[in-house]
Amino acid sequence: AFYAWESQEDGIERCSKFNVTDPITGEKIRTYFNEKQIHISADIAYALDRYIRLSGDKKILEEGGKELLKEVADFYLSYATREKDGLWHLKDVIGPDEYHERVDDNAFTNYMAAHALSLAIRYKAREDVASYERFLSKLYLPKPNANGVIEQFEGYFKKEDVSLSELRSRLRDPRDYWGGPKGIATPTQVIKQADVVALLALLPDLFPLSVKKANYLYYFPRTEHGSSLSASMYALLGSEIGELETAYDFFSKSASTDLVKPKKEFAGGVYIGGSHVASYGGTYLSLVYGFAGLSLSKNGKIAFFPHLPKEISSLSIPYFEKGKKKVVTIKRGGSILMEEK
């Protein structure tokens, strides 16, 4: 199953092939968001697993959940290309960073696809999962380099390493779209939003803290945050690695997305203001999973490992765990009180 990038209730793809326009010439610019962001299917499998572990509702697996996981796994098997190295590669894709289109082996995409395959195996999406196990054992997963940094996609490190201020000075018009075939960011390492950082935030058990910190510090100055979804991912990972001051700044930015005048209201002639509901979801994640440090085990057990910034003296968070309403109160100094309501 290759899920729609943008859809209404019917699930039919509604994302245009020409999302942006050259603000000077008026030429419509071809984009590939709806065709190449194949990580969307793995994202949905990820969400299903989180729901099952938090709610304890395994009936959903027999009500379409297993079929979902099977179809997602089958999609990646059909999409992958076997190379001379004997490994399966996911080529011609777009990761969360939409400025770099049609790249090969985007780290976020490959690792999320691997996670989706592991879910199909764990929940036995089909009677015989041997084909999934074989594929997973041979799926290419980019490893950290000598400095602990994971290359966002094949060839990323070879691109021009330029500062955001220098790149911004190359704009012909403030409304220019930074990505696509003629975008100023395309030949550079400047990215639209959290990509590898998002991967490490969503799958926190993949790598040790040292790798998380190395990637945070590497991609931080190279991220333009052209998406309202970016700040929350940096807040989430930043809180875990101890970058609390910066994490709080990103949390505040995410929370106030629609309360302050944005630095960039247009992208390729398209107005990107308005309400950013998904950004608020990210704000919640950075507060609960970041500062409160909510951790969820494979069997759904919840624990808290807080990282409170100096601006927050205490947090009180109501939540449901397997149908039971609970409240956790976290105070500076590490005090944690969990109550059932």
On whether residue 109 sits in a domain, the answer given is yes
For residue 271, what pLDDT is reported? Answer: 61
Cβ–Cβ < 8 Å for 231, 250: yes
- Residue 9 scores a pLDDT above 70: yes
Spatial separation of the C-alpha atoms in residues 58 and 44, rounded to whole Å: 16
Nearest residue to 43 (alpha-carbon basis) of 92, 2, 102, 99:
2
Structural domain that includes position 180: 20-299
Q: What share of the chain in percent tops pLDDT 70?
A: 96
Cβ–Cβ < 8 Å for 96, 193: yes
Ramachandran angles phi, psi of 102, nearest 5°: 55, 55
Residue 264's pLDDT band (cuts 50, 70, 90): low
On whether residue 68 sits in a domain, the answer given is yes
Residue 323's pLDDT band (cuts 50, 70, 90): confident
CATH number of 260's domain: 1.50.10.10
For residue 233, what pLDDT is reported? Answer: 97
On whether residue 204 sits in a domain, the answer given is yes
For residue 254, what pLDDT is reported? Answer: 93
Residues taking part in catalysis: 98
The predicted model gives 215-228 an average pLDDT of 96
**Which amino acid is present at 18?**
F
Cβ–Cβ < 8 Å for 206, 200: yes
pLDDT tens per residue, range 239-252: 999 999 999 999 99
For residue 272, what pLDDT is reported? Answer: 62
- Going by C-beta distance under 8 Å and a sequence separation of 6 or more, which residues neighbour residue 317? 287, 288, 292, 327, 328, 329, 330
Q: Is the pTM of this model over 0.85?
A: yes
Find the DSSP H helices in the chain: 33-36, 39-55, 59-60, 66-79, 107-122, 130-137, 164-168, 196-202, 209-219, 230-241, 244-255, 277-285
User: What secondary structure does DSSP assign to 319-335, as a single string?
Assistant: EEETTEEEEEEEETTTE
Long-range contacts of 250-255 (CB under 8 A, 24+ apart): 250/286, 251/283, 251/286, 251/287, 251/290, 251/291, 253/225, 254/228, 254/279, 254/280, 254/282, 254/283, 254/286, 255/280, 255/283
- Tell me the angle at which helices 107-122 and 66-79 cross, rounded to the nearest 10 degrees: 140
pLDDT tens per residue, range 17-28: 998 999 999 999
- Going by C-beta distance under 8 Å and a sequence separation of 6 or more, which residues neighbour residue 42? 72, 76, 109, 112, 113, 115, 116
Cβ–Cβ < 8 Å for 17, 34: yes
CA terminus-to-terminus distance, the chain: 40
Spatial separation of the C-alpha atoms in residues 111 and 196, rounded to whole Å: 10
- Residues present in the chain in total: 341
On whether residue 331 sits in a domain, the answer given is no
Q: How many domains does the chain have?
A: 1
Nearest residue to 267 (alpha-carbon basis) of 129, 194, 144, 173:
173
On whether residue 326 sits in a domain, the answer given is no
For residue 201, what pLDDT is reported? Answer: 97
Q: Which residue has the tokens 């039919």?
A: 12
On whether residue 138 sits in a domain, the answer given is yes
pLDDT tens per residue, range 26-81: 999 999 999 999 999 999 999 999 999 989 999 999 999 999 999 999 999 999 99
Q: Which residue has the tokens 């990580």?
A: 39
On whether residue 97 sits in a domain, the answer given is yes
For the chain, state the CA radius of gyration: 20
On whether residue 161 sits in a domain, the answer given is yes
pLDDT tens per residue, range 165-217: 999 999 999 999 999 999 999 999 999 999 999 999 999 999 999 999 999 99
Cβ–Cβ < 8 Å for 14, 6: yes
Tell me the three state secondary structure of residue 144.
coil
Ramachandran angles phi, psi of 156, nearest 5°: -60, -45
